[in-house]
Chains A and B, each alone.
Chain A
Amino acid sequence: MSRESFESALERLLAERRHNRRRFVGRAGSAAFATSALGAFLSACGGAEGEGGGEESEERAATVNHPKEEFDEVVFSNWPLYIDKKVLRDFRAETGARVKYIEDINDNQEFFGKVRQPLQQDRGIGRDLVALTDWMAGRWIRLDYVEPLDKKNIPNERNLTDNLRNVSFDRGRRFSLPWQSGMTAIGYDSEQTGGDVTSIEQFFDPKYKGKVTMLADAREAASMVLFMQGKRPDEATIDDILAAIEFIDEKNRDGHIRRFTGNDYTGDLQRGNIAMAQAYSGDVIQLQADKASLKFSIPEEGAILWSDNMMIPQKPRTAYGAEVFMNFVYDPEVAAKIAAYVNYVPPVKGTQEILAKQDAKLAEDPLLFPTAEDVARLSGYPNLSVEEEQQMNEAFEKVAGA
């Protein structure tokens, strides 16, 4: 790297520190006008290592204009099993354009590692849409890796639920729109636990030694322990997090934690290898179809609520096409179809009403539509600076090898 580009990188880092400080002030202010409980939390949610975009992207956001254009393909990278493929066919029937739907995001970090180089060199990544979790979405916005949204092409954006409108990493949603939200807490096999799991303490009960798994993600794993220790993850300091990781290390060394998993905890749950897993809400509802004894618990100490956010990476082939697709999935009818399939929390207003007509049971499921009581116990991811994040990842990597 030349000296010049190193300096500009350094500048960006310093600029980001400024943003961090501003966020601190901003958050205190936003709490005052937050209307709902979910609003208060989600505005702080997402970890968002910085607020808003880089200066360059702020400027671009102000003048964004994606005129109507012909497009025959939209390339969308998303997580596996995260859409009802019928929706893609419906989109083609309506617009004539194909969605090249790639399920190649298995892990935020890993995906970032894959596409970081072209992004850094200011090139496109051959995708018009990606869906990334809050903190990673924040990083992309901060690093100017995304194209601003032209809201004229997304009239359905008015259906976005209020509490997700003003998130700390993207004020006013100028670069991102939520794809789905969900919770990270405890999935368990009620046959093996012989009752309901209501507390994280149960997860670390010695009688489940070798029968529990945690996610191989520093944020997720540490957050669960933070809840148990009575700390809200979105208010936790790096020292709290390192202490939580130390606790996990201890539980791993003594064999209490069977292993650290990605999405593959589902296999262990299905085969009965484990009694409890740190799990994502939608996954567990999907697994219930095969194994009715599987349940998902939002423990009394609390759980993480996150969103995966659709964004247009820089230099897309068709920003307009991507926006037309976003508009399409923000139609409550379409959102209901997706929700019925993936069982996560839909970010689109009116979904619950439409779902109620098709599947009353699902429409009342608190895992799709959390109650106010649950919401009070939910928190976003920890807010960390770049250095703190690296510190956390390194510490956790030594524990979990991931």
Chain B
Amino acid sequence: MGLRRRRLLTPYLLLVPGLAWLVVFFLVPALTQLYVSLQDGNFEIGYTFQWNWATYSEAIADYDEQFLRSIRYAGTATLLAFLISFPLAYFIAFKAGRWKNLMLLLIILPFFTSYLMRTVAWQTILSDNAFVTERLRDVGLVAEDGRLLATTNAVVAGITYNFLPFMALPLYVALEKIDRRLIEAATDLYASRWQAFRRVTLPLALPGIFAGTLLTFIPAVGDYINAQLLGTSRQYMIGNVIQSKFLVVTDYPAAAALSFLLMGALLICVFAYARVLGARNLEEAVV
């Protein structure tokens, strides 16, 4: 093989491991899923391939409520997580000094316990006759016959709590990277502290905001643990429907079709978001 040809081939050869990974762990499962979603039948006689596109339209017609709810809950939780995480990350990056590592550890520490256990713990904390609920009743924030557990608030709070580190850590990394001299320069040029924050800190933190919101929003939309443990069937999200279709109703085509629709909806959301924030941020967020 001539040197020239080898040079031409090298980039492709270097791509092989990555491509193989994508094919084996993404393309093949995705195509299998597409194949399953177009099957028809029932769980006793089995399912056969039929080009049954009706599953998709039925899935949208039957579960639009859960789709919209998932996006609403995940969106609210992402926003809340951002509002909590940004000051936190800002403080750790700029003000925590020698406490920095300890504070980062404190954010991560609860997540050494299993996701499920943490959510079950919230069941106890929020239960109807527990301390928290009783005090909130005293103050009047919860109605006398009201409750915290098994409500929308509990579910959204659970999602926010469970995904907080996915928001806080990328934000911290982005803020930490900012060159302080840029902020100094801004103030030297007569920017007020607010203007410096808005014109320098915030734009430079955008990649972190972008990464954090995606890392929070995407898994949150598909989450079903919080709705199942802290909510009721009136709070069930699309993840609950898919889980139940797959394991309880054993309607695999519908489960596969719903997963595909969820994937499609998320892709659209991400692309729209990337357009708004600019694709450069997407690249930087990934790097």
**Interface residues in chain A, defined as those with a beta carbon under 8 Å from any beta carbon in chain B:** 1, 5-6, 9-10, 12-13, 16, 107, 109-110, 112-114, 116, 120, 139, 143, 210, 252-253, 255, 257-260, 267, 271-273, 386-387, 390, 393-394, 397-402
Task: Tell me whether B248 and A258 are in contact (CB under 8 A).
Answer: no
* Closest 7 pairs (CB-CB, A-B): A259-B232, A401-B236, A9-B45, A401-B233, A271-B127, A110-B247, A273-B128
Task: Tell me whether B250 and A116 are in contact (CB under 8 A).
Answer: yes
**Residues of B with C-beta under 8 A to A112:** 43, 250
Q: When A107-B248, A259-B233, A401-B236 are in contact, do A272 and B127 touch as well, CB less than 8 Å?
A: yes
Distance from A380 Cβ to chain B, minimum over Cβ atoms (Å): 20
Task: Tell me whether A258 and B247 are in contact (CB under 8 A).
Answer: no
Task: Tell me whether A143 and B249 are in contact (CB under 8 A).
Answer: no
Distance from A341 Cβ to chain B, minimum over Cβ atoms (Å): 25
Q: When A109-B249, A273-B128, A401-B240 are in contact, do A267 and B44 touch as well, CB less than 8 Å?
A: no
Indicate whether B52 reaches chain A with its CB closer than 8 angstroms.
no
Select from chain B the residue with minimum beta-carbon distance to A6: B48
Residue-wise interface mask of B (234-257) relative to A, using a CB-CB cutoff of 8 A (1 in contact, 0 not):
101000110011111111000000
Q: How large is the interface on B (under 10, 10 to 19, 20 to 34, 35 or more residues)?
A: 35 or more
Residue-wise interface mask of B (55-86) relative to A, using a CB-CB cutoff of 8 A (1 in contact, 0 not):
00000001000100000000000000000000
Q: When A1-B46, A143-B44, A210-B147 are in contact, do A401 and B244 touch as well, CB less than 8 Å?
A: yes
Give the CA-CA distance A1 to B250 in the complex, in Å.
17
Q: When A10-B45, A401-B241 are in contact, do A110 and B248 touch as well, CB less than 8 Å?
A: yes
Q: When A12-B45, A109-B250 are in contact, do A273 and B149 touch as well, CB less than 8 Å?
A: yes
Q: When A9-B46, A259-B233 are in contact, do A393 and B248 touch as well, CB less than 8 Å?
A: yes
Distance from A393 Cβ to chain B, minimum over Cβ atoms (Å): 5
Select from chain B the residue with minimum beta-carbon distance to A13: B45
Task: Tell me whether A259 and B244 are in contact (CB under 8 A).
Answer: no
Select from chain B the residue with minimum beta-carbon distance to A11: B45
Task: Tell me whether A120 and B250 are in contact (CB under 8 A).
Answer: no
Distance from B158 Cβ to chain A, minimum over Cβ atoms (Å): 14
Select from chain A the residue with minimum beta-carbon distance to B254: A394
Task: Tell me whether B44 and A258 are in contact (CB under 8 A).
Answer: no
Q: When A267-B123, A273-B149, A386-B42 are in contact, do A402 and B248 touch as well, CB less than 8 Å?
A: yes
Q: Pull 29 A–B residue pairs with CB atoms less than 8 Å apart, ordered by A.
A: A1-B47, A10-B45, A107-B247, A107-B248, A109-B247, A109-B250, A110-B248, A113-B247, A113-B248, A114-B247, A210-B150, A252-B234, A253-B234, A257-B232, A259-B231, A259-B233, A260-B232, A260-B233, A271-B124, A271-B129, A271-B130, A272-B127, A272-B128, A273-B127, A386-B45, A394-B249, A397-B244, A398-B62, A402-B248
Select from chain B the residue with minimum beta-carbon distance to A120: B46
Task: Tell me whether B246 and A113 are in contact (CB under 8 A).
Answer: yes
Task: Tell me whether A397 and B45 are in contact (CB under 8 A).
Answer: no
Select from chain A the residue with minimum beta-carbon distance to B229: A264
Give the CA-CA distance A67 to B178 in the complex, in Å.
76
Select from chain A the residue with minimum beta-carbon distance to B245: A397
**Residues of B with C-beta under 8 A to A255:** 234
Distance from B236 Cβ to chain A, minimum over Cβ atoms (Å): 4
**Residues of B with C-beta under 8 A to A253:** 234
**Residues of B with C-beta under 8 A to A399:** 233
Task: Tell me whether B231 and A271 are in contact (CB under 8 A).
Answer: no
Task: Tell me whether B150 and A116 are in contact (CB under 8 A).
Answer: no
**Residues of B with C-beta under 8 A to A252:** 232-234
Give the CA-CA distance A139 to B42 in the complex, in Å.
14
**Residues of B with C-beta under 8 A to A398:** 62
**Residues of A with C-beta under 8 A to B248:** 107, 109-110, 113, 393, 397, 402
Select from chain B the residue with minimum beta-carbon distance to A397: B249
Distance from B98 Cβ to chain A, minimum over Cβ atoms (Å): 42
Given contacts A110-B247, A386-B42, 10 further A-B contacts (CB under 8 A): A1-B48, A6-B48, A12-B44, A110-B248, A257-B232, A271-B123, A273-B127, A386-B45, A401-B241, A402-B240
Task: Tell me whether B43 and A258 are in contact (CB under 8 A).
Answer: no
Give the CA-CA distance A252 to B232 in the complex, in Å.
9
Give the CA-CA distance A390 to B43 in the complex, in Å.
9
**Residues of B with C-beta under 8 A to A16:** 44
Select from chain B the residue with minimum beta-carbon distance to A399: B233
**Residues of B with C-beta under 8 A to A258:** 150, 232
**Residues of A with C-beta under 8 A to B44:** 12-13, 16, 139, 143, 386
**Residues of A with C-beta under 8 A to B251:** 394
Select from chain A the residue with minimum beta-carbon distance to B63: A398
Give the CA-CA distance A16 to B42 in the complex, in Å.
14
